[in-house]
Structures are given as C-alpha cells and as structure tokens.
C-alpha cells in the first residue's frame, strides 16, 4: 500500500482514464473496497494499492475516476488476451459501445455461468473504468475475447452449434426450442446486429413486446431476458 504518491505517480494513475495510456502502459485501475478485495482473489498482478486513510482526501480526489472518490484504488497489470473455442453457451457482442451495458453483460454472464463473452474489436474496451465498475467484479472471473464476430459465428456453426441472432423480426423466444450450448448474438445499441453478422446467424429470435410503446429493449436488458430463457428452458418447458 502507498502512504504517499509523487506527482509522477498521480499523473500516471490519472492517465489510465484514457485507453491509449492503458494500452501503452498495460495497466488499468480498480476502485472500491469490494472490487479491490475481489481483485486480490483474482490472481491478477496488483501494481499498487492507494488508500484514502494513507494519502488523504485531496489525493484520492485527484486520482479517482468516480464522481465520489472511493476509499481505495488499485493499479492492475492487464492480463494476457483471453482465448476460447466453440464450447458451451456464449454471448457475442456486435459493436456494443456503452460501458455500462458491457459491464452489466459481463455481470450477468458471471451470474448465469456462461462460458465466454465474445466482442467485436470496435466494442467498448473491457478495461474502461466504467466497464470495470459496472461489472461488479465479474471482469475478474469471466472471459471476454475480442474477435471477428462473423468468423466466430462460422466457427460455432462448423462445430454443429446454432448461432442465435436477436432481432426485432425473429421467432418468438418463448416459443422456440433453445439448446444448452450455442452462441447468442447481440447487436449495437442503436443499429442492432450488422448485416455481415446477421448473414452468419442460423436462427433469428426476438423478445415479443406485450405493450408496444417502446421501440426496443436496452441491449443489457435484452441479454438478461434472452439468457434467462436459454438457461431456464429445460426447467419450465
């Protein structure tokens, strides 16, 4: 733990709010007592831990990326990129850009025991501080693999597994047969699944609206409903 920080250290920590410096330094930050405790159990390399009780409120205000500075912040070494094949039940995110959505989807993937989350290279970076916070520790337990989603869809299909795309005009998910393994594709917050990825989906499913007022669901809410149906299919069908 640090009992004082130099100006250079403060500048370094502050720079990690930006992706280019996270990439350059290979570091990211974690804030909050619970998150830092989960970090300690994760096996990731902790470079430094800074506590408010040691450095004071003003220093924490300078280095924290939160609206209200947390009592503890850790600087962490980024792990090697994750890899995963075509096994189990997985999610594929096609250009999901919102950090809150990404963190929430990682959290639900952790809750439901999904095998992996794949994301297109233009999706938000997993080490974005807002993703880290929204994941509530799931970032330490759940694989997120950046890859070409069209290619990943083809890999699943070649392995004999279905690729389910979530669309507004798909088959009613509540009336569909849902397997225990496969790939579920979720699209961009504004534009949905791209044409290139849509062409690789073997099944099109939708969550029907029972009210009709809203145009669509938030992608993380849609992910939660969809995964619930897949995981619970054998229990209540």
CATH fold of 7-77, please?
60s Ribosomal Protein L30; Chain: A; (3.30.1330)
The full set of domain ranges for the chain reads: 7-77, 89-236
Cα–Cα–Cα angle for 41, 90, 218, nearest 5°? 95
User: For the domain 89-236, what is the CATH code?
Assistant: 3.40.1280.10
Residue 2, pLDDT above cutoff 70: no
Tell me the average pLDDT of the chain: 93
Mean pLDDT of 206-228: 89
Predicted confidence at residue 51, as pLDDT, reads 96
CB atoms within 10 A of CB 11: 13
Residue 33, pLDDT above cutoff 90: yes
Q: Which strand ranges, in their side-by-side order, compose the sheet holding 89-93? A: 144-146, 116-119, 89-93, 182-186, 163-172, 203-206
Quick: pLDDT tens for 84-143. 888 899 999 999 999 999 999 999 999 999 999 999 999 999 999 999 999 999 999 998
Radius of gyration of the CA atoms of the chain, in A: 20
Band of residue 233 on the pLDDT scale cut at 50, 70, 90: low
């Amino acid at each position: 733990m640090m009992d004082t920080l130099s100006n250079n250290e403060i500048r370094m920590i502050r720079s990690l709010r930006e992706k280019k410096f996270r990439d350059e330094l290979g570091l990211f930050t974690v804030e909050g007592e619970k998150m830092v405790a989960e970090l300690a159990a994760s096996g990731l390399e902790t470079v430094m831990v800074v506590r408010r009780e040691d450095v004071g409120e003003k220093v924490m205000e300078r280095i924290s990326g939160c609206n209200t500075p947390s009592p503890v912040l850790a600087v962490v070494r980024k792990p090697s990129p994750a890899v995963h094949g075509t096994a189990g039940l997985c999610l594929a995110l096609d250009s999901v850009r919102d950090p809150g959505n990404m963190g929430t989807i990682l959290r639900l993937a952790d809750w439901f025991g999904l095998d992996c989350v794949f994301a297109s290279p233009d999706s938000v970076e997993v080490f974005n501080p807002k993703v880290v916070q929204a994941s509530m520790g799931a970032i330490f337990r759940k694989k997120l693999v950046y890859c070409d989603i069209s290619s990943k869809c083809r890999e699943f299909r070649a392995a004999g597994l279905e690729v389910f795309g979530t669309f507004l005009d798909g088959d009613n998910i509540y009336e569909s047969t849902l397997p225990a393994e496969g790939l579920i594709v979720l699209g961009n917050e504004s534009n949905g699944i791209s044409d290139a990825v849509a062409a690789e989906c073997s099944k099109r499913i939708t969550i029907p609206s029972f009210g009709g007022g809203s145009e669509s669901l938030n992608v993380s809410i849609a992910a939660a409903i969809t995964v619930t149906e897949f995981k619970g299919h054998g229990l209540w069908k």
